[in-house]
């Protein structure tokens, strides 16, 4: 079995207070350089990054060579909410630094503001957060440890109901999956984005902060994508025990996908659910959006996720999950009495009995709702 990729937790952005945004010479967009710090990294990840630095040698051009090797071997995975407002993340200049004692890796990075409709306050807000010592997480490090799935493996996954592709998708001999864009487009309300602290909320909370700011366009894809245009569109794919890494470059030279390029296993199940993609036309040609196709590669996931996916995707419910997506009941067996008893313990049906009125389970915490008692009760 192929080894799954390594993936760090979200890293924090560190900025030199004396460094100001510049203009990227190739794309002519605002750019901000910084350091992406990954803490509490595993011995394996530090070892792999260390091998890349060692392979660069000790020549005068070592730092530039190490940065290029890192770009070839690894990927930076940006936060989806950042990409959806046009904030891109890429490797910067210089070699990574490893602190074994503190289990830390520092990687030079650069942020680029690629949405021409976003006011120039984006980097000012990022610097303001940094100046106030507000932790801003901007991305993860993705390191493939084996070759991606080949064509035969992908076709076998589709036959076993562990992968579902939309009409128009292609698989080449090397296992690269090509998927056309859906006729959909997502827009931002600049008025709401710049109101109050909304832009800081989006930067801090990523896509959770976009709920009232982003909305689908009724007109679908635009007629053309001019040089320097940014597009938030969508594709469809349903993943079982595989993660999908979107290639940086699309099928058209100069057009590329922003840094939020990883589609998670199982969570990306449901072919009916559109998956947002963020695209920038960095070429000097006007492009027809309907001709664009996203290219991606599939990787196996870890043993725990694989086991869970194969338990879920069995029998008659496999087809339903691949069509509609996995839900809370599928993942938790909530209708099993043993499971529900554990989730709903300490909940009572009357205010006079011991216990709470209810319990709300969210992605990161559990909220207890207490009964409101009358005075003297």
Identify whether 356 is part of a domain.
no
Report d(CA 313, CA 269) in Å as an integer. Answer: 10
pLDDT at 373: 59
Look up the pTM and report it: 0.87
Give the Cα separation of 193 and 79 in Å (integer). 17
Average model confidence (pLDDT) across the chain = 90
**Domain count of the fold of the chain:** 2
Domain presence at residue 159: yes
361/148: higher pLDDT: 148
For residues 142 and 74, the answer to whether their CB atoms sit within 8 Å is yes
Instruction: Give the number of other Cβ atoms within 10 Å of residue 178's Cβ.
Output: 17
Domain that holds residue 305: 147-185+220-326
pLDDT at 368: 84
Q: Which of 66-70, 119-123, 128-132 has the lowest mean pLDDT?
A: 119-123
The burial of 275, by beta-carbon neighbours within 10 Å (0-12 exposed, 13-18 middle, 19 or more buried), is given as buried
Is 136 in the same domain as 240? no
Q: Is residue 357 within 8 Å of residue 368, measured between CB atoms?
A: no
pLDDT of residue 60: 56
Same domain, yes or no: 65 and 176: no
Q: What is the Cα gyration radius of the chain?
A: 23
Question: Is 167 in the same domain as 250?
Answer: yes
Does pLDDT of 61 surpass 60? Answer: yes
From 128, 146, 164, the end of a domain falls on: 146
In this structure, the number of other CB atoms found within 10 A of the CB of residue 217 comes to: 13
Mean pLDDT of 49-55: 90
Look up residue 221 and give its two tokens.
């894809």
The pLDDT value given to residue 363: 59
> In terms of domains, do 154 and 72 share one?
no
- Computed from CA positions of residues 51, 57, 61, 62, in that sequence, does the dihedral angle turn out positive or negative? positive
Asked if residue 158 and residue 142 are part of one domain, the reply reads no
Confidence band, pLDDT 50/70/90 cuts, at residue 342 = confident
Q: Which residue has the higher pLDDT, 341 or 250?
A: 250
CA distance 298 to 157: 11
CA angle centred on 157, ends 152 and 163, rounded to 5°: 125
| 75 lies in the same domain as 122 | yes
The band of 119, judged by pLDDT with boundaries at 50, 70 and 90, is low
The band of 345, judged by pLDDT with boundaries at 50, 70 and 90, is confident
Judgement on whether residues 34 and 181 belong to the same structural domain of the protein: no
Kindly state whether residue 132 falls inside one of the protein's structural domains: yes
Average pLDDT (36-53) is: 95
Asked which of 2-6, 85-89, 285-289, 369-373 is least confident by mean pLDDT, the reply is 369-373
Find, among 93, 39, 38, the residue nearest to 71 by Cα.
Answer: 93
pLDDT digits (tens, 9 = 90+) for 18-42: 999 999 999 999 999 999 999 999 9
| One domain for residues 161 and 295 | yes
Q: Lowest-pLDDT range, 31-35, 111-115, 357-361?
A: 357-361
pLDDT tens per residue across span 147-196: 999 999 999 999 999 999 999 999 999 999 999 999 999 999 888 888 88
Q: What is the mean pLDDT of residues 33-54?
A: 95
Residues 160 and 255 in one domain: yes
Which one is predicted more confidently, 355 or 141?
141
The verdict on 160 and 265 lying in the same domain is: yes
**With the C-alpha atoms ordered 154, 159, 163, 167, is the resulting torsion angle positive or negative?**
positive
Q: Is residue 96 part of a domain?
A: yes
Listed residues 99, 116, 146: the one ending a domain: 146
| Residues 139 and 159 grouped into a single domain | no
User: Does 127 share its domain with 226?
Assistant: no
| Mean local confidence (pLDDT), 293-315 | 92
Q: Is residue 336 in some structural domain?
A: no
């Amino acid at each position: 079995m192929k080894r799954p990729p390594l993936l760090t937790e979200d890293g924090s952005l560190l900025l030199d207070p004396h460094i100001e945004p510049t203009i990227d010479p190739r794309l002519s967009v605002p750019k901000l350089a910084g350091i992406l710090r990954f803490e509490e990294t595993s011995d394996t990840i530090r070892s792999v990054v260390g091998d890349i630095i060692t392979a660069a040698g000790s020549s005068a051009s070592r730092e530039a060579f190490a940065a290029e090797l890192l770009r070839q071997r690894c990927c930076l995975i940006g936060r989806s909410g950042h990409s959806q407002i046009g904030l891109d993340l890429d490797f910067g200049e210089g070699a990574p630094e490893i602190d074994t004692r503190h289990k830390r890796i520092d990687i030079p990075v650069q942020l680029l503001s690629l949405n021409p409709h976003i006011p120039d306050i984006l980097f000012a807000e990022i610097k303001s957060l940094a100046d106030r010592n507000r932790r801003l997480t901007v991305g993860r490090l993705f390191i493939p440890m084996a070759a991606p799935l080949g064509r035969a493996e992908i076709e076998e996954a589709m036959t076993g109901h562990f992968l579902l592709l939309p009409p128009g998708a292609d698989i080449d001999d090397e296992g690269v999956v090509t998927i056309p864009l859906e006729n959909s487009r997502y827009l931002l309300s600049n008025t709401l984005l710049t109101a109050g602290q909304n832009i800081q909320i989006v930067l801090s909370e990523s896509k959770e902060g976009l709920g009232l700011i982003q909305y689908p366009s009724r007109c679908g894809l635009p007629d053309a994508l001019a040089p320097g245009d940014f597009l938030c569109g969508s594709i469809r794919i349903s993943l079982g025990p595989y993660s999908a890494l979107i290639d940086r470059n699309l099928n058209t030279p100069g057009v590329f996908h922003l840094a939020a390029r990883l589609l998670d296993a199982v969570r990306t199940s449901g072919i009916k659910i559109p998956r947002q993609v963020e695209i920038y036309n960095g070429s000097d040609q006007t492009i027809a959006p309907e001709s664009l196709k996203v290219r991606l590669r599939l990787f196996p996931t870890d043993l725990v996720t694989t086991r869970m996916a194969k338990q879920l995707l069995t029998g008659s419910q496999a087809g339903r999950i691949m069509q509609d997506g996995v839900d809370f009941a599928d993942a938790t067996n909530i209708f099993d009495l043993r499971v529900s008893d554990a989730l709903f313990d300490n909940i009572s049906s009357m205010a006079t009995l011991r216990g709470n009125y209810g319990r709300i389970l969210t992605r990161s915490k559990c909220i207890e709702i207490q009964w409101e008692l009358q005075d003297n009760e």
